Amino acid sequence: MAPPVTTRLGLFVALALVVNAGGLARQNDLNNRPEVRDAQLSPDGSSVVFSRSEAARDSTTMAPTGLWRVPFAGGDAQRITANASHDSHPRWSPDGGQIAFLSAPLRTNAPGRIFTMPADARTARAVTPGSFDVRAFEWSPSGRRIAFVSGGSTGVALWVMNANGSDQRRLTTGDTAAFAWAPDDSAIARVTRDAGRLRVEVVAVDKTAAPRVIFFAVRPRVSWSRDGIALLDAGDTSARPVVIVDQPGLAMREVSIVAAGRPNDVAWIGGGRLSLTFASNADSWIECLTVASGERITIMPPGIATLTTSPSWSIDGNRYVAVGRTQSHAGEVFAGTVPLPESGRPDAVGARPPPVRRITFSDQ
C-alpha cells in the first residue's frame, strides 16, 4: 500500500508515481547529492520514516542509503539504519508495530532483500533469501502476510509469504507493474502486461479459484478497499476517469475527473474518499475526492513542490506526507492535514499555504 533524478515532471512522475518506487529507488541512489525519498506515515499519523541517500566518498564508490525517522509534528530526524547498503522502500505494518524495508549491498545490480524490524528500530532481520531480487512489497491489511515482486534468478513473479518470511509461495509469473491487497487478505489485484497493454488481474491468495481478469486499458496504479478497486483509466480523454471495480462481480463504474492536469496516482484513504495526485507540465498537486458526492478539495496546491513519490496517509485519512522537490532543495518531506483549516499563516519555513509544511531539510 515505488527513478533517475530529473527536473522534468512528466518523465519523473511517470516513473516515480506509476511504478512502485521502492524497488527502483535503490538502483538510482548513485548520484552524489543527499536526497530524501519515499516518506511513509505511521498508521496513527505520529511518525514519518523515509530513505535518504548519502554523499559518496569519491567518484569510485557507491553512496549508501539509510532510513530516517522524524515526528509528524516536525523536529530533528533520527537515523534508524546505518548500514553500508541501499536501505529503501520503508513500509509500516498495519498496526504500526514493525517497519519493513528493502536492503541491497553496495554493488551494481545487487539483489534486494526484505528486512523487518520493530518500530523502535532495535534490530532488523532478513525475511527473504538472497536468491530473490525483491523489487517491491506490501503488507497485507491484517499484517500477517507480505506480498512482493521478485526478479533475479527466481524470475519475475508475484509472491506471498507470512510476515516472518515463512511459507513463501509464488502466485503468478510475469511482469507486475502494481498490486494491492484485498481488505480481507484473500486476494491481490495486480496490474500486468498483456500484448503490450496493461490489464488488471485478481488472484486468490489461496489459489482456490482461477484469476479473474478485468479487460480494459489502465495505468499502473491500483488501490483496494471495502469501497472497491480503484484504477486510473489509460484512455486519452478530457474527463480522465477513475474506474471503481465493485466486488464480487467485477462491475465497473466511472468517476469523471475534469482537471487541468492528469491524475497519476490514486489511493483510498477511508470514508469513501480517494487521494488523487495530479501533474501538469511543471506542476503537481494533491486532491481529495469523495466518491459518492463527487466533491473534490485541493489539499496540497500547485506551486509548493514537484512531487516525486505517492502520498502516504494515516489510517484515519486525516494526515498525509509526500516527497517533493523545489528549486532550492532536493527531495524533502511535506506534511499536511485534512480537513483544511479555514484560516492561517505560512509557517516559519515558508511552506504555503498552511497546513502544508516541510518537515525535513536535505541541506542541513
Mean pLDDT confidence for 168-179: 93
Question: Positive or negative CA dihedral for 75, 76, 82, 86?
Answer: positive
How does the average pLDDT of the chain come out, rounded?
Answer: 83
Judge residue 356's burial from the number of C-beta atoms within 10 Å of its C-beta, 0-12 exposed, 13-18 middle, 19 or more buried: buried
- Fold classification of 9-358 is Neuraminidase (2.120.10)
Cell of 292: 459518492
**Under 8 Å between Cβ of 70 and 48:** yes
> Is 50 exceeded by the pLDDT of residue 11?
no
Of 44-53, 80-89, 121-130, 322-331, where does the model show the most confidence? Answer: 44-53
Q: Taking a C-beta distance cutoff of 8 angstroms, is the pair 189, 176 a contact?
A: no
| Residue 192 · residue 180 · CB < 8 Å | no
* Residue 106 pLDDT: 86
Q: Over the stretch 253-293, which tens digit does the pLDDT of each residue have?
A: 888 888 888 899 999 999 999 999 998 877 899 999 999 99
pLDDT reading at 41 higher than 90: yes
Q: What percent of the chain has pLDDT over 70?
A: 82
Report the range of poorest mean pLDDT among 64-78, 159-173, 241-255: 241-255
- Residue tagged 516536525 (cell numbers): 74
Kindly list the domain boundaries of the chain, sorted by start residue.
Answer: 9-358
Mean pLDDT of all residues in 42-53? 95
Q: Where are the alpha helices (DSSP H) in the chain?
A: 9-16, 21-25
pTM for this one?
Answer: 0.84
Distances (CA, A) of 68 to 21, 314, 341: 17, 18, 29
Q: Residue 33: its pLDDT value, please?
A: 57
DSSP state of 328: S
DSSP structure class, residue 309? S
Compute the average pLDDT of residues 94-99. 97
pLDDT of residue 107: 83
Where would I find the beta strands (DSSP E) of 182-240?
Answer: 187-194, 197-204, 212-214, 218-225, 228-233
Lowest mean pLDDT among 26-30, 56-60, 214-218, 331-335: 26-30
More reliable by pLDDT, 210 or 26: 210
Give the pLDDT of residue 258: 83
More confident call, 157 vs 154: 157
pLDDT for the residue 217:
83
Per-residue pLDDT of 112-123, as tens digits, reads 999 999 998 778
Cα 140 to chain centroid distance, Å, stands at 14
- pLDDT class of 22 with cuts at 50, 70, 90: very low
Average pLDDT over residues 319-343: 83
